[in-house]
Amino acid sequence: MRYQVKLKKNEEGYAVWCPGLPGCWSQGKTEEEALENIKDAIETYLETVEEINKDAESRYVEVG
């Protein structure tokens, strides 16, 4: 899967977050490190969401 991420350079390196996954963010001293770290953050985020919702009933809806 591919996710859009945003990067912002700051005095400590780079902040990086995934707008499509609220609260999913990371950082790194370099752009490359930040991008590697956000990959781990996204995987952890998705695993956590799956665990939280594993017993919830779900449906699909069509929009548009």
% pLDDT > 90, the chain? 97
- The pLDDT value recorded for residue 32 is 98
Query: Which CATH fold would you assign to the domain 6-52?
Result: Double Stranded RNA Binding Domain (3.30.160)
- Domain parsing of the chain, residue ranges: 6-52
Burial 31-41 (b: 16+ CB within 10 A, else e): eeebeebbeeb
- The pLDDT value recorded for residue 52 is 93
- The pLDDT value recorded for residue 13 is 98
| Torsion angle (degrees, nearest 10) of CA 54, 57, 62, 63 | -80
Q: What is the pLDDT of residues 35-63, one digit of tens each?
A: 999 999 999 999 999 999 999 998 999 99
- The pLDDT value recorded for residue 51 is 95
- The pLDDT value recorded for residue 63 is 96
